[in-house]
């Protein structure tokens, strides 16, 4: 199935004037600067013990979006995968607490804004260093922070999905020994891929620059908290 280069253009629902965006970005950036990065969630351990194992199926090769390819040209080290790293993270209560903390704090700290408003282009993947970003930018920051926290980058895969409204969306898929889990800017809860309510299309492959198509793609719909 072919997907247009505009696949991710609808993942932001933020609007406003340039002045409003700049002001909100300054406030959000300040809030992010004072957040402790990896404070544990009080309910993280209980949530961890409720998880079951659920692995999504890879069915073949897929083309990455052009925006991903351009991102890799700008940040080649972010797209290179060290094959000596584990392909799956051993999921423990401590790891689950780190995933939960990063997901919650990045979601609270980055203001959702379209690439058109931020960059003046239809689709660009980049880090939200100015406190602004759309879905893929937010997930890229989560991945960066999780790698800094010591998690295997090889097990942290960007993924393309169709959301509950039939629109293109990007999430971060965490491959663990207890299943494949989703970090999302639409909600703070970390869910298995099947619980996320999305149709899964493709994700990063084993070497970062190549992508793979995903099977078992249609998950039961749930209500997302935006």
* Domain assignment of residue 61, yes or no: yes
* Domain assignment of residue 84, yes or no: yes
* Domain assignment of residue 37, yes or no: yes
| Coil, helix or strand at residue 33 | helix
- The one-digit pLDDT tens for each residue of the chain (226 residues) are 444 444 555 574 434 444 443 444 443 343 333 333 333 444 445 555 555 678 999 999 999 989 999 999 999 988 888 889 999 999 999 999 999 999 999 999 999 898 899 999 989 999 999 999 999 999 999 999 999 999 999 999 999 999 989 999 999 999 999 999 999 999 999 999 999 999 999 999 876 668 999 987 665 444 433 3
Could you tell me the CA-to-CA distances from 60 to 5, 148, 161, 162, 211 in Å, in that order?
A: 20, 30, 16, 18, 9
* Domain assignment of residue 10, yes or no: no
Task: Return the CATH number at 62.
Answer: 3.10.620
**Is the pTM here over 0.75, yes or no?**
yes
Which residues constitute the domain of residue 119?
18-214
* Domain assignment of residue 222, yes or no: no
Say how many domains are in the chain: 1
* Domain assignment of residue 8, yes or no: no
* Domain assignment of residue 225, yes or no: no
| Confidence (pLDDT) at 81 | 81
| Confidence (pLDDT) at 137 | 96
**What does the alpha-carbon distance between residue 51 and residue 44 come to, in Å, rounded to a whole number?**
11
* Domain assignment of residue 9, yes or no: no
């Amino acid at each position: 199935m072919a997907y247009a280069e505009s696949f991710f253009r609808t993942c932001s629902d933020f609007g406003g004037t340039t002045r409003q965006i700049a002001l909100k970005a300054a406030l959000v950036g300040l809030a992010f600067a004072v957040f402790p990065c990896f404070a544990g969630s009080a309910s993280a351990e209980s949530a961890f013990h409720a998880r079951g194992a659920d692995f999504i199926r890879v069915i073949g090769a897929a083309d990455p979006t052009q925006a991903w390819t351009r991102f890799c040209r700008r940040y080649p080290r972010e797209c290179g995968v060290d094959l000596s790293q584990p392909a799956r993270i051993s999921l423990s209560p401590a790891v689950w607490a780190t995933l939960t903390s990063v997901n919650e704090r990045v979601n609270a700290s980055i203001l959702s804004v379209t690439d058109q408003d931020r960059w003046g282009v239809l689709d660009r993947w980049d880090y939200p260093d100015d406190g602004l970003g759309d879905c893929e930018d937010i997930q890229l920051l989560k991945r960066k922070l999780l790698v800094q926290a010591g998690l295997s980058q090889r097990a942290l895969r960007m993924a393309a999905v169709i959301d509950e409204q039939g629109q293109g969306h990007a999430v971060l898929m965490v491959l663990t020994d207890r299943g494949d889990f989703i970090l999302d800017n639409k909600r703070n809860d970390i869910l298995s891929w099947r619980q996320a309510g999305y149709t899964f299309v493709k994700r990063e492959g084993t070497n970062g620059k190549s992508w793979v198509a995903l099977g078992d793609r249609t998950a039961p719909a749930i209500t997302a908290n935006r």
